Amino acid sequence: MSGPRHPATNPAFSVRIHVPPGAAAAVAGVLAEAPGTVTSRIDEPDAMGTCRITLDADGPRTLAWLTRTLTRRLGTDLLLTQDPVFVAASTGKLTLRVCAATTTGHDIALLDADADRRVVSHLAAHPEHTDDYTGRRHRVALISDASAVLDFDALPADAALPALESQAVHLRRATGLDVFPLPIATPHVEDIAQAVRLLAPGFAAAVLVHTRPEHVLTTRAILGATPPLLLLDTLNDGLAVAIAAATINALSNRGVRPSSGRVVLVDPARGGDLAGLLIASGIADLTLFDPFGPGGGNLRAIAAEADLIVDLTGLATPPEQVPILRARPEAPPRFAAATTGPRPLHALPGLLTAATTTRRPITARARVAAVHALVEGTPPDALLPAPDQPGLTAAVAAAATHALDSDNGIGMGGA
């Protein structure tokens, strides 16, 4: 049976071993000597009596020591060693499923050339029916030029694929949409916009992920106000919304009304449209501090009277007794700890659902509505709800949809 995981260990640094029953004592001896924290989970032995033991370490150095020492001590008793992170990555993490029936010859005939010719001819004459007679309305392209994958420097596009696949799994679980990870190999930002144009016939929406903020901004500028398909990004439609909600909750938890709270935003350029979103969400007193700009300035002096510092660098040193909200885009909190820090997955699934359901682009008003939905969904005294909190995606989607309807005059006497 699996017990609770020790908070100091991290499943991202784990090893799974298969050993005969008599080797359990040797494994326990190795764990007792580990230079860091290690926890173990032992599954029931299989029919041959082999035990499968999963060992979670507290980081890469402990894991490396553990792997070396187990290999040396157990020898032939170490029947199999697996790294769960690479096992999960090797699956591709998600796959397509066949929706059409394929059991009988009649079923297959509906997927053959004559059947396709009828549907294609109809859509050529009536392109407005494409979403009715294809799977496009459920299909989302997850696009990255690999320019901002976590805290790495720019990567080869294929090296970014595991991170895109993980994001695709999270979005699929939250929305039910068919999400396709699509890394793009290009040194030219303009090619991202071209990729969006080329993919538009087959997808309802595209989401820019693990892409530098300035690349996102350039892509949106090239595509203009009416892109060829619904376009979202994990910064403006995800992380910025979560940071704004966390800011409001951080102030409220200290008894400070957002409309009267004094907030300092460190390195606003990293936040996309975050500054505007904070103001639109009710933060009336916002100071923008660029630590890398001309002169730099003195954060301690600027923020001495602040009620909250929102730090997008992860490096800011606040004045004493001024609380700080760390929200470095390159280093999101672990999923299980995301109630104490913002992640794009707090808001992005709901906004993506709203966009694909209404077939309308996300607006500033929809993002503000998503902020307030997150605030309302946060448990008392917490900073944020868990990203997978039941009903959260639906609540954000409903709030954003209402805002989009209002933007289009629906339910307000408009057409």
Question: Hey, what are 4's tokens?
Answer: 């609770």
Provide the angle, in degrees to the nearest 10, between the axes of the packed helices 190-199 and 213-223: 60
17: tokens are: 């071993």
Instruction: Give the chain's largest Cα–Cα span.
Output: 77
Helices (H), strands (E): how many in the chain?
A: 14, 12
What is the pLDDT at residue 45? 85
What pLDDT is attached to residue 4?
42
pLDDT reported for residue 69: 97
> Which stretches of the chain score pLDDT less than 70?
1-7, 295-296, 410-415
Q: Read off the tokens for 27.
A: 């494994």
Specify the long-range contacts of residues 69-73, CB closer than 8 Å, at least 24 apart.
69/30, 69/33, 70/15, 70/17, 70/27, 70/30, 73/26, 73/29, 73/30
pLDDT of residue 415: 33
Q: 3-class DSSP state for residue 90?
A: helix
User: Global pTM?
Assistant: 0.91
Q: What is the pLDDT of residue 3?
A: 38
